[in-house]
């Protein structure tokens, strides 16, 4: 049995993201993914038995690079600095990878997500809520419901990332710093 070619898997993932960016997840087919990635449909089925498996595999792969997952092992930073690092990484991820962001945000709401992947997505927010609870204990932020702060976080990140210019690194740093400061002012004690 031949081993699976990593370059083909990358092409399949890229084709899937390209298609999802242009049409809704439900509308793409294994045939359209194969065509977009330049491989035969039967070859795609060798790699992934169906669209559910392919999309969940893509989600798992992208989730590995998700900003909250990356920072979780950095407990040497203060809770405030961890929060800023997650903010900074989230904003930069949105600048660099809009197709990945769209998929990571829309896939959990689709009928295709596996229970395991749904739990992974929830664990990211639980990590953020834990950081918020730690900041409350340190009396650095107001006593607000953690889920409410996460909702505010998500809204701020989405809205501010729309103002980012892919060609202006210095201006983006200012936007990232200023937007975090604005978020922090909204929750600090």
Q: Which of 40-44, 62-66, 107-111, 180-184 has the lowest mean pLDDT?
A: 62-66
pLDDT tens-place string over residues 112-151: 999 998 887 777 788 888 889 999 999 999 999 988 998 9
Radius of gyration of the chain (CA): 19
Which residue has better confidence, 3 or 21?
21
Looking at the chain, the whole-number percentage of residues with pLDDT higher than 70 is 90
Whole-model pTM: value is 0.81
Q: How confident is the model at residue 63 (pLDDT cuts 50, 70, 90)?
A: confident
CB 160 within 8 A of CB 175: yes
Which residue has better confidence, 64 or 153?
153
B/e letters for 106-124, b = 16+ CB within 10 Å, e = fewer, are ebeeeebbeeebeebbeeb
CB 84 within 8 A of CB 144: no
| Alpha carbon separation from 26 to 53, 105, 119 (Å, rounded) | 14, 15, 22
Which residue has better confidence, 13 or 108?
13
Write out the two tokens for 37: 């990635």
pLDDT number for residue 55: 97
Residue 15 above 80 pLDDT?
yes
């Amino acid at each position: 049995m031949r081993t699976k070619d990593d370059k083909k898997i990358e092409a399949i993932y890229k084709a899937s993201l390209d298609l999802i960016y242009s049409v809704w997840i439900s509308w793409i087919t294994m045939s359209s993914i194969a065509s977009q990635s330049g491989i035969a449909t039967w070859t795609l089925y060798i790699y992934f038995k169906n669209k559910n498996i392919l999309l969940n595999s893509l989600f798992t792969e992208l989730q590995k690079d998700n900003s909250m997952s990356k920072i979780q092992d950095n407990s040497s930073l203060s809770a405030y600095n961890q929060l800023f690092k997650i903010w900074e990484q989230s904003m930069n991820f949105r600048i660099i990878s809009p197709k990945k962001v769209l998929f990571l945000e829309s896939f959990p709401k689709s009928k295709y997500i596996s229970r395991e992947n749904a739990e992974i997505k929830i664990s990211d927010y639980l990590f953020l809520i834990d950081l918020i609870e730690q900041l409350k204990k340190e009396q650095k932020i107001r006593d607000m419901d953690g889920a409410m702060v996460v909702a505010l976080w998500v809204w701020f990140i989405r809205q501010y990332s729309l103002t980012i210019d892919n060609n202006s690194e210095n201006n983006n740093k200012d936007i990232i710093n200023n937007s975090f400061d604005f978020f922090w002012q909204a929750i600090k004690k």
